[in-house]
Amino acid sequence: MANIKAPECLDLCVTTGDFEAAAKEKLSEKSWVYASSSAASGLSHQSNLDDWSRINFRPRIMRKVNTLDTSRNVLGKKSKLPFFITAMGTLGSAHPGAEPSLVQGATRKGINAVISTATSKSLETIMQAHIDEQQKVNNRSPTRLDFQLYVPPDRKKAKELIQRVKAAGYHSLWITVDSSTQGKRTADRYLQEREKLEQGGREMVREAAAENDFGPAFGGRPTAGYLHPGLTWEDLSWISEEWGGPVVLKGIQSVEDVKLAVQYGMQGVLLSNHGGRQIHSAPSALMTLLEIRTYYPEAFEKLEVFVDGGLRDGADVLKALCLGATAVGVGRPYFYALAAYGTEGVEKCTEILTEELEICMKMLGVSSLDQLHPDMINASPLLNDMWRPGSFKAGNLRAHL
Ligand SMILES: Cc1cc2nc3c(=O)[nH]c(=O)nc-3n(C[C@H](O)[C@H](O)[C@H](O)COP(=O)(O)O)c2cc1C
């Protein structure tokens, strides 16, 4: 048998994990560190990955699954699939085609994508790539682009950015709320120190994101004044007013904050610990989802609940949906697929997740995603580890609700 490995042959990628190995061989050390690194010792990232395997399905049998409906209503529009490409910055570090190549693959496969504020290409160029690809498929792709907002601390600049996003035609705004500062990315710290030593002790020159006035420098090393430590719930009113469309808060990690999001009239929350890249020892995305399901199930009627972090298999997607998620985001697998194979990798990654989702739906005994419900999974091992209100008799916890 020929000794061909995944990096040379896309056909050899049969799980999303295969893209990671292929990307590692292709990427520069700096780009690899940027994508793969996480905060501190990596606990937050690891628990994202581990927790999906700590819950099991409770399949039902003989339930007529000849045809399947994998569609979902997401923020007022029909989505072909219940998963999307979540926001990732500086995709130019993955592949020269950067975000436009990602968007081409997404559009061909009809999957939605959230475009980061911190892109390598301008937000207009990225939207144009989507429009051009749409024309090639006679405007038949259901793909929609959403925009992830890092709120610039300067309100005038923030409003200018929101207006540009609106004018370009993005559907919804996903405000990242877990980034009052940059997480300590250990692997990147080592790399930075080595770079400094190699340059005779001088600070690295920060490469500006060539085509994005609002982007960071490179690889998640933010320029000064880029993140907003002063952001509060009150800011949501002027942002929502300026935007005038659906708003989702990205990076919610507790039931108390979901309650506030409802109170502040948000259309959605994305339960996420930023792929384990921000706070050390964060709850996994799944743990937060369980917390909402347990203590505030009404949330699922009041707004749309999204999840990202560590989802690597179509089965993981279904587990989240059983617990009430509207749709889920997938990050690194798409970064790696783009890095190793460009647009075709993005298509293949979507095919892999779709096939796994469909196989699992059939064997779970559901022909439509609306039939999923919490009794289709056993989450007992995780429920034992879940936060319990009042465990420390913290009398004034209510003050935060
Ligand atoms: C390379 C990379 C870049 C990211 N850039 C952003 C970003 O610009 N804005 C943001 O809100 N989240 C960003 N994230 C976090 C993702 O949106 C998402 O929460 C996370 O990747 C999901 O976990 P997963 O990679 O395990 O799927 C980034 C994550 C990665 C891996």
In 3D space, the residue among 29, 7, 135, 52 whose CA is nearest the CA of residue 312 turns out to be 52
Residue 294 placed within a domain: yes
Indicate which residue's Cα is closest to atom 14 of ligand 1: 88
Q: What is the DSSP letter of 271?
A: E
Residue 393 placed within a domain: no
Residue 9 placed within a domain: no
In 3D space, the residue among 281, 299, 14, 329 whose CA is nearest the CA of residue 172 turns out to be 329
CA distance 300 to 196: 49
User: Taking CB atoms and a 6 Å cutoff, what residues make up the pocket around ligand 1?
Assistant: 34-35, 48, 86-89, 116, 118, 148, 176, 250, 272, 274-275, 277, 308-311, 330-332, 335
Residue 395 placed within a domain: no
Q: How many domains does the chain have?
A: 1
171 annotated active-site:
no
Closest atom of ligand 1 to CA, residue 87: 17
pLDDT tens digits, 6-46: 567 899 999 999 999 999 999 999 999 999 999 898 999 99
DSSP for 41-109, written as a single string: TSHHHHHHHHHGGG-EE----S---SS-B--EEETTEEESSSEEEPP-S-GGGT-TTHHHHHHHHHHHH
CA torsion angle 118 124 129 131 (round to 10)? 130
Residue 394 placed within a domain: no
pLDDT tens digits, 346-385: 999 999 999 999 999 999 999 999 999 999 999 999 999 9
Average pLDDT over residues 336-341: 98
pLDDT category of residue 400 using cuts at 50, 70 and 90? low
pLDDT tens digits, 150-190: 999 999 999 999 999 999 999 999 999 999 888 898 888 89
Position 356, amino acid: E
Closest atom of ligand 1 to CA, residue 118: 8
CA distance 218 to 383: 39
- 97: domain CATH number? 3.20.20.70
Residue 218 has pLDDT above 60, yes or no: no
Mean pLDDT of the chain: 92
- Report how far ligand 1's centroid is from the alpha carbon of 202 (Å): 29
List residues bridging with 164 in a β-sheet: none
Residue 339 placed within a domain: yes
Residue 176 placed within a domain: yes
| From 277, 313, 328, mutation site for ligand 1 pocket: most ligand atoms within 8 A of C-beta | 277
Helix (H) or strand (E) holding 168, with range, is helix 155-168
pLDDT tens digits, 79-104: 999 999 999 999 999 999 999 999 99
Average pLDDT over residues 318-329: 98
Full residue range of the structural domain in which residue 292 is found:
18-385
Residue 35 placed within a domain: yes
Helix (H) or strand (E) holding 358, with range, is helix 332-364
In 3D space, the residue among 230, 222, 270, 219 whose CA is nearest the CA of residue 247 turns out to be 270
- Set 274, 280, 373, 400: catalytic member: 274
Helix (H) or strand (E) holding 126, with range, is helix 123-136
pLDDT at position 299 is 98
CA distance 227 to 65: 48
